[in-house]
Amino acid sequence: MIINFALLNEIFRGFHIQRWNDRVRPMDLIEMDKHAHKFIISYCIAKYEEKKGNHINWINLIKNGIFELLRRIIISDIKSQIYREIKKNFNVFKELNQFVFKQLESKIEDKELKNEISDFLFNDTTNLDLTNRILEAAHIYASYWEFQIIKQANPFSYQNTRIETELLNKLDEFSDLNGIRKLIDKHTISNFVDLCGQLRFQIRWAQIPRVPKTSVLGHTLLVAIISFFFAKENNACDKRLYNAFWGGIFHDLPEAVTRDIISPVKRSSEEFDMLIKKLELELAEKQIFPLVEPDWHNELKYYIEDEFINKVIIDNKVYNKNLSIDELNNDYNQNRFDPYDGELIRAADHLAAFLEAWNSCSAGIKTEELLNATQNLKDYYKDKRIGNVFLNNLYSNFKNVW
């Protein structure tokens, strides 16, 4: 399989890495959350560039963003300023990337994925095409967004002015990107980015003691990465890969206005679950969609309405009547159908929840709810196959924690 036990655990380490940990922080700022926010910002910037008529290689944007997250997880102890200086020295940066690849190589079984990561680390490391410029700009803006929190918590730090000036100067290098100009000038899209950023304040499993605490925002990135690799396992076309990733990123978007309602409450009755979904969509219409460009609305609705159902678009209409994964693989695996793997995203959502519960139990923070969640999910997927994804092969590698 493309994604395995070792790679899942490596990605999950992103929830353990603290950012700005040499500053007073009113809350934990986590690497996984920052990269999730970065992806949302990159989505917005890329959409504006497409509107200008520029071609966006969306698959490269997604893959390079994931690979950069893996690199940041491995070199987590290096401060950003030091990392920027290392990048200026080609030989030193190459040695650092060799170290990163050596750490990842043993955790990746899929040859194609290994080659793609190698290409990312060693080929054209200093070349910033439009796709990589978008990612870099989003990375800096996400850091700038975090710094606004840090600045308030450290009002007397003599370094505040220097840090803010450096970040703004770096952003100025990307002022040709319409999205960055709109964010800096506080156009409405900046409110959307702020709203998505607030998902890092919402902690999942909020009523249950657990380590590490994971936010809704970080969770969405974990779901998106797993969904993307699951779709690749099913030999998905580019549009299907695109939908698997961004569908994972945005599947919890309504929670920005409803907060995270825990699954047992949602499932307490079918009528209550339907009411919550109805309210989520109504609130999204009123509070989320007015913040983004009108021509993005249909795509975002595609991701948050019936988010766990397989669907395609035929003659400009959404078709989602009992579509199986095999039908998506055999009949609709073409860009023109805009195929969406809701079933895979649901499986990725469950796997992400399992990882959150399992990691806490493995660290010794066990509750009846967490233990039940790990066992129930393991039991549910013990004989499950979704297309070419054999989920039991993933779950069986996680040892029992009770």
Q: Read off the pLDDT of residues 57-106 as tens digits, 9 standing for 90 and up.
A: 999 999 999 999 999 999 987 877 788 888 889 899 999 999 999 999 99
For 263-278, the pLDDT digits (tens) are 555 555 567 777 877 8
What 8-state DSSP symbol labels residue 177?
A: S
> What pLDDT shows up at residue 76?
87
**Rounded-to-5 percentages of helix, strand, coil across the chain:** 65, 5, 30
Of all helices (H) and strands (E), which one includes residue 313? Answer: strand 312-314
Ranges of beta strands (E only) in 65-166 are none
Distance set, CA 279 to CA 18, 241, 259, 267, 286 (Å): 35, 29, 12, 15, 11
> What pLDDT shows up at residue 263?
57
> What pLDDT shows up at residue 124?
60
> What pLDDT shows up at residue 328?
97
Of how many residues is the chain composed?
A: 402
What's the CATH fold of domain 5-199? Hypothetical protein af1432 (1.10.3210)
> What pLDDT shows up at residue 201?
93
Q: Considering only CA atoms, give the Rg of the chain.
A: 21
Are 5-199 and 216-395 the same fold in CATH?
Answer: yes
Q: Where are the domains of the chain?
A: 5-199, 216-395
Whether 376 has a pLDDT exceeding 70, the answer reads: yes
Whether 13 has a pLDDT exceeding 90, the answer reads: yes
> What pLDDT shows up at residue 270?
64
The domain at 216-395 falls in which architecture? Orthogonal Bundle (1.10)
Which tokens go with 259? 């907060």
Q: Please report which confidence band the pLDDT of residue 295 belongs to, taking 50, 70 and 90 as the band edges.
A: very high
Higher pLDDT, 157 or 70: 70
